[in-house]
Chains A and B, each alone.
Chain A
Amino acid sequence: QVQLVQSGAEVKKPGASVKVSCKTSGYTFTDSYVHWVRQAPGQGLEWVGRINPNGGGTNYAQKFQGRVTLSRDTFMRTVYMEVRSDDTAVYYCARGLPGGFDPWGQGTLVTVSS
């Protein structure tokens, strides 16, 4: 079945960068965009950006321009999100389908603490 498995939780100091991975399986990697979504504690879902594994083209939400970089390793079927994080949040990756995101990764908690 289709699965997206993310890397484990991270603790970072304010202003430091963290790289989160999202390993995919069960479908043709280059057929679907992979999206990233952020959720701060007690808050709603916030779209961060997306990457087209076929070619590597990216789009970012304006809020995250310059703070987030998406990349992919086609051989490893893995997408990466590097983010300079100033606040604690859970980051999810999700496969993009026409009209929805499915499935989602389990989420990666990035804790920012000095």
Chain B
Amino acid sequence: GQNIDQPTEMTATEGAIVQINCTYQTSGFNGLFWYQQHAGEAPTFLSYNVLDGLEEKGRFSSFLSRSKGYSYLLLKELQMKDSASYLCAVRDTATGFQKLVFGTGTRLLVSP
């Protein structure tokens, strides 16, 4: 089976840095994804990690440690528009294919 854990909610101030953690346990592993979802909208892709280390993309960075079953999403220079839910998802190969399983998401509130 799969188990993906994220904090339920976080708050931060405009201009600050925030780190959203994700821990996972899966039978097989073939990549970890972070998605952003604004209220009432579909999730949109932010980042992908399959090898250990840090992937940087503008204000967003994502880190993966496969041995620890751990990832984080780092958001720098926070803006009000970053208020959204952030979803961690793992591609699980237990079935022999590539099932994509999501955590419950972290609701981030950015205040002025």
Is B truly associated with A?
Answer: no
Residues of A within 8 A of B (CB): none
